[in-house]
Chain A
């Protein structure tokens, strides 16, 4: 049983490392041909995407015991700040790109 768990954990770790390495290459590949006029919106869009950290905050808050006030307060704050990152990030990016669209008319 213990061996199975060990093997399973091992498999998960290897799998995770695979994902990480592939993602690093993908990130480089995706960005490399960007015209410089899109650098600012792209940075802003990437900024919104790393707001996915809010998922972790949701898990933390969702697991907090009703009496663990520290976890509740910090968790609440974390979800709030993470949401700011996500929503603010996407809206700002959209506002920038909206202007780019107008000019092509």
Chain B
């Protein structure tokens, strides 16, 4: 009886592992992505219920089933609700929170299991301690990332921060070794270790610029994957092991891909060179006469109505202002007047790769109108008006021309080849990289200040009622 239930469970775990791999594979193709997500979710359900009913240790099945089901039910209700209510613009924050919850879960498991092992069970102790450390760091790091994304925390740096972080990591590892080799050590050591890990997570994320948060979240995501894999070692549980390692490695690759899209290395993101060498770029050397010109709503309306082709470049400002629907309205209004409208999407526009695609898709913008960077760059020369909505660094020509610029080498949208450029921003302040943008001072560029949503609504009105 016992053996057979163990065998069934092993088979269910195998099915679970396969669905995770298949799901992740399908998630990487647009057509199959949604099905892939569903398949992985079904596999997860099989693994969870299989564990509840079939898991046994030394012949004993699991107790406290009522408690387990209550916790599952509560988590399901609240999790579903939170995921349904969240605004599309706040997706990165939501992912960060869920990731933190996974980390906290791993840490809690470690805190309980550490009391159940005897000294000498080194491999189990390593798995527990590693899960505890990684889970805790992932939890506190994710919470800080969440706070930074929604503006609750500001970037903070202090002298010798990198050295303090390295020192702290060494202390954490040393204390971890103490716990592994003498598990009956005074409980206070465990609490000191926990608090150090929480503090480390905070200090690790706090100095990293807000624009780099997606990279950090992706990295913490792979941390939590490794923490889950530690649980897999601990229970010799293949579903946890495969799922955890898969996310650990895929998450790391995804992190590197995101860095690549921004033409930066991971070390550069983590240490944050922006603050250290931006002094050379506070004023752009190409533009000695830093004059920008403003333009009236009516002028923009006329310019766009009589254009043949308009290209919209969305950026984070569009996401913040929730202006995706107004943006679609502008597109429809212009198309009714016979203007061709396209969107130029930079791979890292917004706060996450793909962020703009998700947002515009929410507003029912036709997918075929979204151009990726290379396509867009070939079309700017035949474009009459480029409308930049809250994007900055991704259209900064310094990335091409100015070797001393911290964003030098990043691929950009070459909007300056178009006939006219209209930039909508809230103010003249620099973008996330802290670099001034020479584009704003070029003769063909006009500034249209204001919140993206308000500006777009007024613009649509203007085109509808006051042009011809």
Contact = CB atoms under 8 A, between A and B. Distances in A.
B46 to A, nearest CB: 11
Contacts of A35: 28, 30
A61 B257 contact: no
Interface string A76-105: 111111111111111111111111111110
Interface residues of B, number: 115
A4 interface: no
A20 B361 contact: no
Given A79-B72, A84-B75, A27 B106 contact: no
Contact of A28 (B63, B78, B214, B249): B249
Contact of B62 (A58, A82, A95): A58
B392 interface: no
Given A53-B227, A63-B60, 19 more contacts: A27-B246, A38-B29, A40-B352, A41-B37, A52-B244, A53-B244, A57-B105, A58-B68, A62-B55, A77-B108, A78-B109, A78-B112, A81-B105, A81-B108, A85-B79, A97-B37, A99-B358, A100-B358, A100-B361
Contact of A49 (B24, B48, B238): B24
B270 interface: no
Interface of B: 16, 20-21, 23-25, 27-30, 33-34, 36-38, 40-41, 44, 47-48, 51-52, 55, 57, 60-65, 67-68, 70-72, 74-76, 78-80, 82-84, 86, 88, 91-92, 94-95, 97-99, 101-102, 104-106, 108-109, 111-113, 115, 123, 214, 217-218, 221, 224-225, 227-229, 231, 233-254, 257-258, 261, 345, 347, 352-355, 357-358, 361-362, 364-367, 372
B68 A84 contact: no
B44 A49 contact: yes
A5 interface: no
A52 B248 CA distance: 13
Contacts of A1: none
B243 A30 contact: no
Most B CB atoms within 10 A — which of A56, A66, A85?
A: A56
Most A CB atoms within 10 A — which of B27, B70, B355, B365?
A: B27
A75 B109 CA distance: 7
B248 A27 contact: yes
Contacts of B68: 58, 61-62, 79
Contacts of A102: 361, 364
B354 A80 contact: no
Contacts of B253: 27-28, 31-32
A46 B250 contact: yes
Interface in A30-80: 30-64, 66, 70-72, 74-80
24 contacts: A19-B245, A27-B250, A35-B28, A38-B28, A42-B27, A43-B218, A45-B37, A46-B254, A49-B23, A50-B248, A55-B237, A55-B240, A56-B228, A57-B108, A62-B68, A66-B64, A79-B105, A83-B71, A89-B83, A94-B37, A96-B358, A97-B34, A100-B367, A103-B367
A21 to B, nearest CB: 9
Contact of A57 (B109, B224, B236, B257): B109
B221 A55 contact: no
A32 B250 CA distance: 8
A42 B98 contact: no
Given A43-B221, A47-B95, A53 B231 contact: yes
B102 A81 contact: yes
A90 B243 CA distance: 14
Contact of B63 (A33, A57, A63): A63
Given A40-B352, A56-B240, A76-B71, A71 B98 contact: no
B112 A71 contact: yes
B105 A54 contact: yes
A91 B23 contact: no
Nearest to B69: A79
Contact of A95 (B83, B99, B109): B83
Contacts of B224: 47, 50, 53
Contact of B101 (A85, A97, A98, A104): A85
Contact of B105 (A44, A49, A70, A82): A82
B33 A41 contact: yes
Contact of B86 (A47, A76, A92, A104): A92
A60 B116 CA distance: 10
Most B CB atoms within 10 A — which of A40, A95, A97?
A: A40
A35 B30 CA distance: 8
A12 interface: yes
Contact of A61 (B36, B61, B71, B372): B71
A60 B21 CA distance: 26
A58 B106 CA distance: 12
B48 A58 contact: yes
Most A CB atoms within 10 A — which of B20, B28, B86, B347?
A: B28
